[in-house]
Amino acid sequence: MELLPTIWFIAIAVLWTGFIVLDGFDLGVGMLMLTSTRDERRRRQMLNTIGPVWDGNEVWLITAAAGLFAAFPDWYASLLSALYIPFVFVLVGLILRAVSIEYRGKGRSDRWRRWADRALGGGSFLVAFGLGAALALTTTGLPLDANGDRVGGAFAWFTPWAVLGGLALVGFCLVHASAFLALKTDGPVRLRARGLLVRLGPAALVPFVGWVVAVQLLNGKTWTWPLLGAAAVAALFGWTSARLGREGRAFAGSAAFLCCGLASVFANVHPVVLPSTLDAANDLTVTNASSGDYTLGVLTVVAGIGLPLVLLYQGWSYWVFRRRLTTDHLPAPHPVAAAVARTPAPAAGPSGTSGTGTSGTGASGTGASGTGASATGTRRA
């Protein structure tokens, strides 16, 4: 077994794990916005817990996809072409999330905010379910021919394994988000999140446990059973800590559960990166799906420089925003001055008609400087 392909297989596993640990609670908070509370200030409190970090957490997804493309181009090509439809839904979900977070506070009506919350929750569900399905199919197999192309129709990927993986990641994100909200907030939101974690946490993790155990039984590597045991201990530790009101330990237990579970999954499938359900001879492995040694060597140098920098700036951002957030920290919605001042209409010329200004036309005042309908707007945190 070649060393560099194996190292990059481990690197890809670490990147996907880091993305789910960090962005998992972002996705879960987005889904919880659909059903958690109708109080606007509490909903803003929930949203502001992820406000400083959600876009930075998505860097891990971009890095994982880019690393997959560079280190294992055949794996990347076969996986993304076979799962074209679910990845389109993932992209739509990412767009909905970004737009809803950024523009939720730009509207003045409750209806606008309700639609933004629905877009955030729906987009978060699409991302979690789509990526969970992709990870499950990566470890259980797709109908691939000898060229690595998918055999079957556009929905050949839609199998019970895909559904199980999608539900697994959705359930984990909800649990992880409940632990995160209990850790980062105070007041009713904190109590509600902790209660949700205690009551529904074990049930929400059942699909994830089912996927991990299924991969273990399908591959039968005995040395990975301790990782399953560690995952079970971490889940029990997190749930017990939540019951005792130790939110920091509950969040750590949730993260450790995911890390041990995914470590078991990736360790079991190695050296196969994408199995074929048609013929084992068509499996993609770390050897036949990887780039050349020179490419992997350059990638190793770049990753060795860039990854520590990412860890440093993300660690710093989490340190800066480490305090609990209450509704008292949120300013009330208030009018703010327009970024560009309104341009007055030009005076009438000698012929009695409106003149033409440099930044607008006629008396309407529209043009490069914007419209003159309103000089103030309403912003929400």
Closest alpha carbon to 289 in 65, 16, 60, 79? 79
**How many Å separate Cα 288 from the centre of its chain?**
30
Residue 333 has pLDDT above 80, yes or no: no
Residue 319 has pLDDT above 50, yes or no: yes
Residue 355 has pLDDT above 60, yes or no: no
Residue 206 has pLDDT above 80, yes or no: yes
pLDDT tens for residues 261-270?
Answer: 999 999 999 9
Least confident of 175-179, 200-204, 357-361: 357-361
Least confident of 30-44, 118-132, 241-255, 361-375: 361-375
Average pLDDT, the chain: 86
How many Å apart are CA 151 and CA 149, to the nearest integer? 6
Q: Are strands 334-337 and 284-285 parallel, antiparallel or unpaired?
A: unpaired
Model pLDDT, residue 379: 43
- Residues forming beta bridges with residue 144, ordered by sequence position: 150
Residue 196 has pLDDT above 60, yes or no: yes
Q: Please, which pLDDT band fits residue 347 given cuts at 50, 70 and 90?
A: low
Q: Please, which pLDDT band fits residue 353 given cuts at 50, 70 and 90?
A: very low
Model pLDDT, residue 14: 94
355 vs 313, more confident: 313
Residue 92 has pLDDT above 80, yes or no: yes
How many Å apart are CA 327 and CA 41, to the nearest integer? 6
**Residue 266: HSE in the Cβ half-sphere, 13 Å Cα cutoff:** 20
Model pLDDT, residue 346: 62
Going from N- to C-terminal start, the domains of the chain cover 3-329, 333-381
Q: Are 23 and 60 in contact (CB under 8 A)?
A: yes
Model pLDDT, residue 330: 73
Q: Are 242 and 191 in contact (CB under 8 A)?
A: no
Closest alpha carbon to 29 in 152, 150, 179? 179
Average pLDDT over residues 242-268: 95
